[in-house]
Amino acid sequence: MIHQAKMVRLVEDIAAKLGVTDRRVIEAVASVPRHWFVDEALRLRAYSDDALPIGYGQTISKVSTVLRMTALLNPQRGEKVLEIGTGSGFQAAVLARLADSVYSVERVGALALRAREMLNSLRAYRVHIRTGDGSKGWAKHAPYDKIIVTAAADRMPHALLEQLAHGGLLVTPVAGSSGQVLKEVRRLDDDNWEEVALEACRFVPLVEGSTAR
């Protein structure tokens, strides 16, 4: 079976299992060639629901994780999205198919560079990538309609809450004493946020402070 057909089948299966019904989201995830985003030796595993290593101790998220988080975030045309943790660039490519512009911050310089090249070859020019500590957000382009964090912080990153537009939505894993929990935070106005704890999840840790080459 060709790659794209495998991806469509995998995403459809996962969507049915998770109860995701939004065709825009399903099609956006299924249309990004995931095998391009992993090392050649792992290509055969690109179309399974596994998190795969991308170097530097990091992983490309599971397809089910990308689908679930994208469905929660529900990016729309006209919206500006911030992603923390570019990694392979796969999630950013998915977001670019749905939103107007995507700003993505990656701590590891080499990953940011590789993701940029990959996204260029996919002509995903709506994605802007910066190397830096994403726990501080990307103030220059704030406020954001949606913010997605793909690494788990020990506490809700304050800077990200501040960079949300009024009515905006943040989806992030947060690590606690009994493991990581996926959280959704809606900004109501200047100083009110509404937080909902969703299911348990598993992400690599969000590392604060200086960046790595």
61 annotated active-site:
yes
Nearer to ligand SAH, 36 or 193 (CB): 36
For residues 7 and 35, give the distance between their C-alpha atoms in angstroms, rounded to a whole number: 9
Question: By Cβ distance, which residue is nearest to ligand SAH?
Answer: 87
Residues near ligand SAH (CB under 6 A) are 58-61, 84-85, 87-88, 90-91, 105-108, 111, 133-135, 150-151, 204, 206-208
Nearer to ligand SAH, 84 or 164 (CB): 84
* Minimum distance from residue 105 beta carbon to ligand SAH (Å): 5
- The nearest distance, CB 175 to ligand SAH, in angstroms, is 12
**Active-site entry in 31, 48, 61, 210:** 61
55 vs 167 by CB, closer to ligand SAH: 55
Minimum CB distance to ligand SAH, residue 198 (Å)? 18
Cis bond upstream, residue 143 (ω within 30): yes
Cβ proximity to ligand SAH, 19 vs 209, nearer residue? 209
Beta carbon of residue 64, minimum distance to ligand SAH (angstroms, whole number):
13
Helix (H), strand (E), coil (C) string for the chain: CCHHHHHHHHHHHHHHHHCCCCHHHHHHHHCCCHHHHCCHHHHHHCCCCCCEEEECCEEECCHHHHHHHHHHHCCCCCCEEEEECCCCCHHHHHHHCCCCEEEEEECEHHHHHHHHHHHHHCCCCCEEEEECCHHHCCHHHCCEEEEEECCEECCCCHHHHHCEEEEEEEEEEEEECCEEEEEEEEEEECCEEEEEEEEEECCCECCCCCCEC
Residues with a known catalytic role: 61
